[in-house]
Structure 1
């Protein structure tokens, strides 16, 4: 009989131990998660976003498109295009002995205001008569008086071109006209003739150009590929050979 009682007692002990372990799990409040049923609850995200605060007013530089004489010899009018919601632009004037410097700025409203542009004249009052002094606007553009009135001056030559036609400012002027990216090399120059090797782009070889003085600027008339005077004299027999006889090819 004992051989039947012993297995029964062993089975009872196993069941009792399992029941005690299950009771301890419940007592310790350990979360239970089935591996067969994973948690697929999606995370919730907030759909609300905070709008950026409206931008405030900013100071901008006014672009001057023309300069005109004012009602008297101490006033000039700067023609600009400004947003219609700008009340009065701000001007800062330096009334010098040989030039007048003017900075023109305006306060652009913030908040994305719809302000279409419109032309307007900004009067600039000077301490002394303007005379023949040039007006430099916003440190970049300059305006001078000529036979036909006020005109924008050249970036290199300013309002009074140099009397020396070989002056570096004249060379800079012709390079700007040719849209050269780099400074070239002047091979020969007098007051009437000029040989200059332009460097338009870094990846290209120098491009030789020959100019004649045309009264108020240099005008090109030949682009020789070799050295010496042959190609130049073929285009202009009056060209002085002293300027080209020892000339090497462009390089």
Structure 2
């Protein structure tokens, strides 16, 4: 009878380990394994003539097993220009007592119904890769502006790149631009205070503003100076070649439109 009980217990324990969704032991007791996603997707490459996609991701790591059932799956039918993929795994990493406090790189793979070709790959709804401009079999990791950043110039898309270059706050809107294709002055503002709703709430008109000066480089608009004073003084102290035609008519920003902290100049970036 004792042997039968021991056998049942042993089989039960083994079943928990094989399933991968049970518990993991720690000094404080069992820890449930839950589904998770990688903290970062760092690379992608193709195999099997473009039909297999291999994705490198950062997953939990520790002294004991921290990841089970790592997999990549297609979340939507393959489109003409896009493939959507999600990476998932099971881990006890949500509890530090599991020991899974570090990270390591792991590779998930997914079989495509047809060669990737020129399609872009979107992983977990936010990371993009493309074969355009890449070195096969690797794919190129796209940036915040997508896989084909806008050309630097006097365009709305290019101004958006300039705002990203200075870490402008979320929901920023542009007030004015002075641009000649090689140099740029950009004034922008963002709301402060309570949520505005229809715009009638008290403090809804409250906002902060800033002014940045940029120079065009191969990488896009590069910030060279910041300042709220009128005219050219702020920028030409940093970059004497900045054309006066773009800055001499600048009015000082209103005290209600600029931040309360002092302006910080940015050092020129190498080309």
The alpha-carbon deviation at position 179 of structure 1 amounts to 2.8
SS of 2:69 mapped into structure 1: coil
Does residue 175 of the first structure (1) align with residue 163 of the second (2)? yes
Structure 2 CA distance, aligned partners of 1:181 and 1:201?
Answer: 9
CA RMSD of aligned residues (A): 3.7
SS of 1:87 mapped into structure 2: strand
Q: Which consecutive residues of structure 1, in runs of 5 or more, have no partner in the other structure?
A: 1-51
Contact 1:89 1:107 (8 Å CA) reproduced: no
Q: Mean alpha-carbon deviation: is it higher for 199-208 or for 102-111?
A: 199-208
Structure 2 CA distance, aligned partners of 1:237 and 1:57?
Answer: 60
Structure 1 CA distance, aligned partners of 2:234 and 2:224?
Answer: 11
Contact 2:134 2:140 (8 Å CA) reproduced: no
The alpha-carbon deviation at position 121 of structure 1 amounts to 1.2
SS of 2:163 mapped into structure 1: helix
Structure 2 CA distance, aligned partners of 1:208 and 1:168?
Answer: 17
TM-score scaled by structure 1?
0.62
Which digits, 9 at most, give the CA deviation of each residue in 1:70-104, with x for residues without a partner? 24222221012335440342523432211211111
Does residue 74 of the first structure (1) align with residue 48 of the second (2)? no
TM-score scaled by structure 2?
0.58
The alpha-carbon deviation at position 106 of structure 1 amounts to 1.5
SS of 1:89 mapped into structure 2: strand
- Decide whether aligned partners of structure 1 residues 73 and 229 sit closer, same or farther in structure 2, where only a CA change above 3 A counts: same
Higher RCO (CA 8 Å, separation ≥ 6 residues):
2
Q: Which consecutive residues of structure 2, in runs of 5 or more, have no partner in the other structure?
A: 1-27, 194-206, 255-271
Which digits, 9 at most, give the CA deviation of each residue in 1:168-200, with x for residues without a partner? 444343333323325253432343221113559
Structure 2 CA distance, aligned partners of 1:113 and 1:102?
Answer: 28
Structure 1 CA distance, aligned partners of 2:234 and 2:43?
Answer: 44
Count of aligned residue pairs for this structure pair: 198
